[in-house]
Chain A
C-alpha cells in the first residue's frame, strides 16, 4: 500500500516557538488527513486536504498539501503547552470504506 513518511520523529521546542511536521509519499495521494493524539489519548481528526496546493488554517495551525499531492505539512505558530502530543498524517486510499494509513507521527514536546 501507499506509505507515508513523516519527519521529524521528535521535536522539542520552547513554548512560543513555531513547529512544523512534514509528511511525504513517493506516490500521488488522493487526500491527506491530520490527527492529533494527546499523551494517553486517542487520535482526534484535525483536517482533511484533497486539492493540489491546498492551504487551510485553523487558528495557529496551517496545513498544506503539495502541488504534486505527494507531500503535506502542518505548521503551528507560537506553540502553547496545550499543543503537546503526537501529530499524525494519514491517507485514505479510497475505493470504498478503506482504512487510514498513518505516518509514524511527530511527537511535539514543549518546554515552558
Chain B
C-alpha cells in the first residue's frame, strides 16, 4: 500500500541553525501539507500546497518557514533559523483531493529537537 515517507526520522540541531525536513508524498496525490505536534499536544496545521504554490498557511507559518517541491516527488519544509520552541514532531501529509472531502495520509513524522 502506498505511503508517505519522511526523512530524517529524528533531527537534532542547534538554535539558529537551518533545517530541511523532507517528505515524499503518495505519487498520485495532488495536495500536500505540513503539520506539527508538540509533545503531548494536538496536531497543528502549518501549510498546504497545491499546484506548485502555497494554498493556505497558518499563523505559525511565519517568515522563518518555507516549503518547496523541488522535483516531482519531494516536498520539503525549511526552517531558516530554528528556535527552541520549534522542537516538535513534524508530519507531512498528502491527499488525492482537497476541498471538504479529503482524507489525508500522514507520514511517520520527523522529530525535531532544537538545543
Contact = CB atoms under 8 A, between A and B. Distances in A.
A and B interact physically: yes
Interface of A: 30-31, 33, 37, 41-45, 48, 50, 88, 90, 92, 94-105
Interface residues of B, number: 30
Contacts of B102: 92, 97
A101 B58 CA distance: 10
Nearest to B92: A42
A48 B101 contact: yes
16 contacts: A37-B43, A43-B91, A45-B105, A48-B101, A50-B101, A88-B42, A92-B99, A96-B50, A97-B48, A97-B49, A97-B50, A97-B55, A99-B56, A100-B43, A100-B45, A104-B42
Determine the main DSSP class of A at the interface with B: loop
Contact of A99 (B46, B101, B106): B46
A41 B56 CA distance: 26
B45 A99 contact: yes
Determine the main DSSP class of B at the interface with A: strand
Nearest to B109: A42
Interface of B: 31, 33, 35, 41-50, 55-56, 58, 91, 95, 98-109
A102 B99 CA distance: 16
